[in-house]
Amino acid sequence: MKIGSFDNHKPITPAGNGPASSAASGKTAAAEPEASAQVALSPAAALAIEEAKADFDAEKVARIALAIREGRFQVNAEAIADRLIANAQEVLAGPQH
């Protein structure tokens, strides 16, 4: 059963976004949309962001990136496995009050 025709060689554009609709509305394709919402962080979210920034060590990241580029970085699979197991045990133990 054929519902309609389809030309595989024509690009598909969403309705209302083609050149005809832009010309009809008087807007150009390069026009920036107007901001319609403002976002405010809760005090808890702001604190979480600050704590995350405090945990970031840019110098350490730079040292590791340099070691990777130079081929000197070695992965310690045993340490990774130990931490994964410890993390899984924490999750499985559930919240401790």
Q: Is 88 domain-assigned? A: yes
Q: Is 6 domain-assigned? A: no
Q: Which residue has the higher pLDDT, 38 or 54?
A: 38
Q: Is 76 domain-assigned? A: yes
List CB contacts of 29: < 8 A, sequence separation 6 or more: 19, 22
pLDDT tens digits, one per residue of 61-92: 999 999 999 999 999 999 999 999 999 999 99
Contact (Cβ atoms closer than 8 angstroms) between residue 83 and residue 75: no
Give pLDDT, residue 21.
47
List CB contacts of 22: < 8 A, sequence separation 6 or more: 28, 29
Give pLDDT, residue 49.
85
Q: Is 22 domain-assigned? A: no
Q: Is 71 domain-assigned? A: yes
* DSSP one-letter string for 26-84: T--TTPPPPP-------HHHHHHHHHHHHH--HHHHHHHHHHHHHT-----HHHHHHHH
User: Which residue matches tokens 């979210």?
Assistant: 45
The answer to whether residue 33 scores a pLDDT higher than 80 is no
- The CA distance from 13 to 29, in Å, is 14
Domain with 65 in it? 43-93
How many domains in the chain? 1
Q: Is 18 domain-assigned? A: no
User: What pTM was estimated for this model as a whole?
Assistant: 0.36
